[in-house]
Amino acid sequence: MKFSLSWLREHLDFTASLEEICATLNRIGLEVESVDDPTERLSGFRTAKIVEATRHPDADRLQLCRVTAGEGYEEVQVVCGAPNARTGLHVIFAPPGTYIPGSDITIKPGKIRGQLSNGMLCSLRELGIGEDSDGIAELPEGTPLGVDYVRHAKLDDPIIEIGITPNRGDALSVRGIARDLAAAGLGHFKPWLVPTVESEGASPIQWVLDHPACPYVTGRLIRGVKNGPSPAWLKQRLESVGLRSQSALVDITNYLMMHVGRPLHVFDANRLKGNRLLLTSATREQFRALDGQDYVLGTHDLVIADEAGVQSLAGIIGGETSAVTDDTTDVFVESALFDPVRIALTGRRLGVQTDARYRFERGVDPALVRTGLEAATSLIVELCGGIPSEVTEAGAEPDWQRTATLRFARLATLGGLEIDADKAVTILEALGFEVKERGEGQAIFSVPSWRNDVASGRVLAQAHSLDKSVAERAAAHVTQMEAEADLVEEVLRIRGLDEVPAQPLPQPHMVPPAAVTAEQSRAALLRRLCAGRGLMETVGFSFVSDQDAALFEEGREQDRLLNPIATDLNQLRPTPVINLLRALGRNIAHGQGFAGDAAFFELGPCFGQEGDRLILAGVRGGVSARAPGHVAEEPSWMEAKADLWSALLTLGMAEASLSCTADAPDYYHPGRSGVVRQGPKLVLGRFGELHPRVARHFGLSGTVALFELNVAAVPLPKMKRKAAPALSALQPVRRDFAFLADKAVQIQDVLKAVRMADRKLITDVRLFDIFEGGTVPKGQRSLGVEVVLQPQKESLTDAQLEGVMAAVEAAVHKATGATLRR
């Protein structure tokens, strides 16, 4: 929000300096973002006169100008290339040492084509305050010489720009800012008087209201206006805050929007069709706006339409077909109130950003609809002439009246600052709040219409009556608490936010808690593990196509999206594997799967029959890189198992507690996959090769290895202090066993039986060989198992070793029927 000091003086009588105003604005929460003071930026420029202009002896397009700045200044010679430089012309003169903002140079004396030049004759563009560039600026005859040009042209008016928070729609006007400054003690707040204009006859154009997003709309016809350029004061007002002057009629609406925060719109009445304007929902039609763009409107957009179609996107931007021009003689002025949410949704969908939308979506004063129309009528009649009709309206001004209660003790307990009760009341009254009732320790205030952010929940005095439900009473209580907090904030803000003492947050423990949760730590650990194993992390949509999802899990109706962002993203994914396979296919298609780097993982959510879960999934595809002594290979299911096994061990799972079964889902290869469990029921993850049928669906050829880990199913490690490991000074003893077992025997059962044979001495068991054929009987296989024995107190004797070996043989035979191979 930009405003000038001279504009501020129309609403506030003050003597404060620019520095005091900026400091006060920062203190009351209207943060100053920039200050543009032309007095400093354009210092050094003086009014002058060309005494004589002659042709440069060595250049056809240059002139030698003798310039005087009046008494007390010496005549100087300036070389000028402007075509309009001539004898007797009053000009803007920049002596040496002057900074030219429009050209970003500093003037220095020098020679141009051999002739001395002591300064520069400037155009408005070179001063940064105009667009003309055909020649130097021509000042009127009789302009006093040698005076500061900024003050002569009345440009010594600083422009202040402040940042507005989304809840302060009342501060989007010069009057709203003046009210806050007056409440802070910076001056006297002036009344705003709107002249009464006599009307003649009823308006031939009537409103028809057919949409709940517009509760109240007014308008009137003004006949016989004469549109044209705005007067200098109005043009300067708008241009000082960055608004381009267009015509008197349009400038009046922009002026009132900035002046008091009341957006309005003017239609060329002769370009409207029919005798009524309809506020209604748009159909799916195209609309040409004032910015020259065509917009396709939706059924949720609020529009103003006549018999010919849409003439304005309500509260946002007008239409080109009914825009006022220099030939306009009759205008219809509209002043309305629109729903902020509807305006925001339409503006965001269409990507239209206007000053009117910016104010409507933050909330405008609901009591200013009729007054704003009267103010616009008065200015139009004053500047453009015309005869106004009576006001036509539809709907009614909404019931905005509401109250808020302030307990004065809350200023200290909630705001942290001791403030006298009378002082608090004075501050709120200066902001427009009126005391309705004051008792001991508290007061009830009526909230002004322009403060949409205070007590917006519409606190009702009868909210606690017996005929209200418990939910309504609870909601009213919460709203009352919020309204009281709003009043505390207003008092503290005007008193000065910089005076509120800083309070540290309560610290329940001397040692601060961990910055991340256990779940976050596990996620980071898994990402580092996968990256270390050569997999690249991806982040995919949680949405996939229903055709892809059907290959992995039977789709559920609640997982189907009613309004998907794309037709191929219409269902919540049952597993991140779908996204990884798509990424794998794209990379292989681009030649990235033939160097061993087509391996991806994702840690993300999935949805399905087992509920919402956090899944770590990884895929490997393509062919490994060729190298001397190595053959290019496709990934195998063993790599996927190793990835999954490493992840489980990293999360603290004991290897002895894990088991594998061959009942992987049907999108895995039936003979090259498995399921990892803890106990008989708890499924932790799956691994294996992708089923060829699924691979073909994704356009993949060759072997694809994948794994899935249900991270949430892995129990968190118990937070117990671990004892120091009992390290033995004795060397471990290794013994190898070869068991003959039926092929139906699970290897994990054999390894488990070995571990259980002597839990104190046996510290590790590893499978190192599987052999079939040769001397091994048909239907059986030889399993090579390495057993590590770790004595603690004394070395093992031969007898002890033989006893342990016998116990291992017996345990395996009892558990699986396998015998020791002789």
Q: How far apart are CA 677 and CA 686, in angstroms?
A: 9
Q: Distances from the Cα of 455 to the Cαs of 168, 355, 369, 404, in angstroms?
A: 13, 26, 21, 6
Q: Quick count: other Cβ atoms within 10 Å of Cβ 334?
A: 26
The binding site comprises 453, 486, 489-490
The binding site for Mg(2+) comprises 453, 486, 489-490
Query: Which positions ≥6 away from 60 have C-beta within 8 Å?
Result: none
Which helix (H) or strand (E) segment is 751 a member of? helix 747-757
CA angle 702, 639, 772 (to 5 degrees): 90
Q: How far apart are CA 162 and CA 30, in angstroms?
A: 6
- Map tokens 């990507």 to a residue: 351
- Contact (Cβ atoms closer than 8 angstroms) between residue 422 and residue 411: no
Which helix (H) or strand (E) segment is 62 a member of? none
Structure token pair of residue 458:
């519409």
| Amino acid at site 590 | H
Nearest alpha carbon to residue 313 among 294, 329, 331, 328: 294
Q: Quick count: other Cβ atoms within 10 Å of Cβ 472?
A: 14
Q: How far apart are CA 751 and CA 772, in angstroms?
A: 18
Q: How far apart are CA 522 and CA 100, in angstroms?
A: 61
Q: How far apart are CA 402 and CA 709, in angstroms?
A: 57
CA 1 from chain centre, in angstroms, equals 20
Pairing of strands 206-209, 276-281: parallel
- Map tokens 């909404």 to a residue: 398
CA 586 from chain centre, in angstroms, equals 31
Cα dihedral: 450, 452, 455, 457 (round 10): 140
Where b means 16+ CB within 10 Å and e means fewer, 341-373 reads ebbbbbbeebebebebbbbbbbbbbbbbbeebb
Q: How far apart are CA 667 and CA 673, in angstroms?
A: 10
| Amino acid at site 225 | V
Cα dihedral: 374, 380, 382, 383 (round 10): 160
Structure token pair of residue 689:
């090769």
Is the backbone of residue 416 left (phi > 0), alpha (psi -120 to 50) or beta? left
| Amino acid at site 398 | P
- Supply the DSSP symbol for 798: H
Sheet (strand 434-439) strand order = 403-407, 442-446, 434-439
Pairing of strands 120-121, 90-94: antiparallel
Q: How far apart are CA 89 and CA 53, in angstroms?
A: 10
